[in-house]
A and B are shown apart, each in its own frame.
Chain A
Amino acid sequence: MSDMISSFFTPSFVALVIRVGTPLLFASMSAYVASLAGIPNIAVEGIMLFGALFGVYFSAISGSAWIGLLGVLAVGVVLALVLAFFTMKMKADPIMIGIALNLFATDFSVWLLLVWTGSKGTTANLPSKVLPTVNIPFIENIPIIGTIISGHYFLTYVCIVMAILLAILVYKTPFGLHMQACGLDEHAADSVGIKVNRVRLIAVIMSGIFAALGGAYLSMGYLSIFSNNMTASRGWIGIAAQAVGGGNFLIVTLTTGVFAIAQGIVSKLALTSLPSDLINTIPYVCVLIGLIGLSVKEYRKRRAR
């Protein structure tokens, strides 16, 4: 057991956390940017699932992982447009649309699997391609830092770059301010001349792209196949991180980090003889405790006033 605990303080564990944390951060960014602009995107899980499936499919039929990635982006944008169209133009409840898209993704991805491969399990018999891992020259040779920073999948670096860009976009540009305004009060935003629908459309499209990339990471890096229900509630964890952090991107990212560590511990403990079904619930228990703590804190704040 002490071996196990000491293994949590090694560079390879940090690298593991980064590996399992990437899809979670994609999911969090997806949930964050959409709800910042006032359209809560509950469909993160579903978009991730479709992203994962279509990444495999497009890379298999084109023979190139990069074309697969383009396909993933297209799928993310299309699903985001569906969400945007029905919530903004047709005045449907975004939560309802999100639930519907999630259910659709869960079921329809299995059907597509069946049609494409003849089995409902995995795409193991599709010749899909995997995005490369990136070894950063020089840094990879530095003992500890090299293990942590270098040698991750391509999309991990994309994720980190996008997170930085997103933070700059939200906090340092007029557009970021517009997004926040739309999320806080669309009428107020409208009255000062912000084109609410356009801002929201862009935010939702970004959200769709983040979620789809999170899915692609799972099936084109982390694993090299798509398997039935492979996102395994990662999208929901992103939504929970957004719920904890609210409009504050730093807190959203830190919360995601905590969930990623929990997930990392799970993948370590999965190798032991402990019951795996119980171990798997650890990240969700963390999320639950975090959410409860947050709402108790806010309740106290309200009462103190």
Chain B
Amino acid sequence: MTTEKAKKRFRITDEGPFEVLRILVSILIALAVTFVVLCFVIEGDSIPARLGNAGATFIKLLTYPCKNMFYFGYVLVKMVPLTFAGLATLLYFRTGLFNLSTEGVFYIAGVACTYFAVSEARLTGNPFIDSAICIVAAGLCGGIIALLPGYLKAKFQANEMVISLMMNSILFGIGFWMIKTFLAISGVTGTSSAPFVASARLTTIIPKTQVHSGIIIVLVMVVLVYILLFKTKLGYAIRITGLNQNFARYSGMGAFGLFMSVHFLAGFIGGMGSAVELLGVYQSFTWSQLPGLGFTGALMAMLGKNHPIGVTVAAFGISYLRASAQLLANSSPVIDIKLVSVVEVILTLLISSQYFLRSWREKQLLKEEQCNE
């Protein structure tokens, strides 16, 4: 009886609550460090004045997006590409693949999307179909590109991480060249493409904000990836292979087909994300360097514990701070979207540390044992 009662009691040292505690402590530490960094660079004559200024700026940073609907909508807009990139990367990570090609896929699939989106001749004029053409084209492009490292990994067991990194640089070079040479406004040598046709762009769904229909697409994708991972045979194979490659092989799961499908799916999701971001936010293709969304996707996957819903939450949290920092950038010389990298790096360092808070937990468990005795 007593043991059953003890089991039901909420304990912070249990697996689930402890994980939540770890994440909360990580967030607190990350924010505290950001505050300290702010204190160092903020203007102020004396130490109290600096602290005050930093405190005010810091609170602004944490609350600004809640001020009105437009700002909050901006958070949602920022969240869309991060979630897409996170979903793509989590498929790799779940399979035990350290593939970082989402960065390059985002770029080249964006070029594929632009190919259709800039020309009325390649579109129908129906907004729904036009957006779909561009998004599917980008997805297919991403999927096919991702098959290259997938094939090398599946067939020759090549080092997929280094290959994917080299591919990022190559895809950027090719993509940028294509944008400049074929997709720019004719006669103009610039670094951006011709403007997107209006019917290809995604529509705004919440009035007076920038929130576009991409947010619906991304939420649908989150559900689909969830179903794929936890309700299908392929998803089971993915999870088992990620846990133990040998077990998967010995139980008769073909590694070749699995790796190829995972790469195609991840590439497809990455490509879709790129198209949705471009058509939702941009007027034309203007990325003159790699957008950095693919690498952030790896962080999202890690912070979200490789779970689709976790990734969504992580993407929301990081987007919240990024959006806030970007909105505040004009009001303060030291606030910039890049400052959020402090939060990102500390969260990643702490959450990926298996031993973070472990000794504390063990002490608590030991104490409990002693009490019980």
What is A's interface to B at a CB cutoff of 8 Å? 42, 82, 86, 89-93, 95-97, 99-104, 106-108, 110-111, 114-115, 118, 120, 229, 233, 236, 239-240, 243, 275, 277-278, 280-281, 284-285, 287-288, 291-292, 294-296, 298-299
Contact = CB atoms under 8 A, between A and B. Distances in A.
17 contacts: A86-B349, A86-B353, A96-B302, A99-B295, A99-B302, A101-B345, A104-B341, A107-B338, A108-B342, A233-B169, A236-B169, A239-B162, A239-B165, A277-B174, A277-B180, A291-B158, A291-B162
B90 to A, nearest CB: 13
- The CB with the most chain B CB atoms within 10 A, among A95, A284, A294, is that of A284
Contacts of B169: 233, 236, 280-281, 284
A240 B162 contact: yes
Given A103-B345, A111-B338, A288-B170, A92 B353 contact: yes
B71 interface: no
Contact of A295 (B159, B161, B295, B299): B159
Contacts of B349: 82, 86, 92, 97, 100
- The CB with the most chain A CB atoms within 10 A, among B157, B340, B345, is that of B345
A236 B355 CA distance: 29
Given A89-B355, A277-B173, A284 B166 contact: yes
B51 interface: no
Interface string B336-363: 1111111011001100111110000000
A284 B176 CA distance: 15
Nearest to A111: B338
Contacts of B356: 90
B292 interface: yes
Nearest to A82: B349
A277 B166 contact: no
Contact of A243 (B157, B162, B299, B334): B162
B26 to A, nearest CB: 12
Interface residues of B, number: 49
A285 B170 contact: yes
Nearest to A286: B166
Contacts of B167: 284, 288
Nearest to B298: A99
Contact of A108 (B170, B292, B338): B338
A296 B354 contact: no
A299 B155 contact: yes
Nearest to B337: A107
B158 A292 contact: yes
Q: What are the 4 tightest A-B residue pairs by CB atom distance, in nearest-first order?
A: A90-B353, A107-B341, A281-B173, A295-B158
B197 interface: no
Contact of A103 (B166, B289, B295): B295
A96 B348 contact: yes
A110 B325 CA distance: 14
A288 B167 CA distance: 8
B299 A103 contact: yes
B181 A275 contact: yes
Nearest to B178: A277
A106 B336 CA distance: 14
A97 B174 contact: no
B155 to A, nearest CB: 7
A102 B174 CA distance: 23
Q: Chain B: interface secondary structure?
A: helix
B166 A92 contact: no
- The CB with the most chain A CB atoms within 10 A, among B159, B166, B334, is that of B166
B147 to A, nearest CB: 14
A111 B111 CA distance: 29
A298 B158 CA distance: 9
A278 B177 contact: yes
A287 B166 CA distance: 7
Contacts of A280: 169, 173
A46 to B, nearest CB: 10
A91 B354 CA distance: 5
B35 interface: no
Given A95-B98, A103-B292, A104-B341, 10 more contacts: A86-B352, A92-B349, A99-B302, A102-B295, A106-B292, A107-B344, A275-B177, A280-B169, A284-B169, A299-B155
B162 A295 contact: no
A295 B157 CA distance: 7
B66 interface: no
A10 B156 CA distance: 39
B353 A111 contact: no
A89 B350 CA distance: 12
A99 B299 contact: yes
B336 A236 contact: no
B35 to A, nearest CB: 15
Contacts of B170: 281, 284-285, 288
A295 B156 contact: yes
A97 B344 CA distance: 11
B173 A96 contact: no
B139 to A, nearest CB: 24
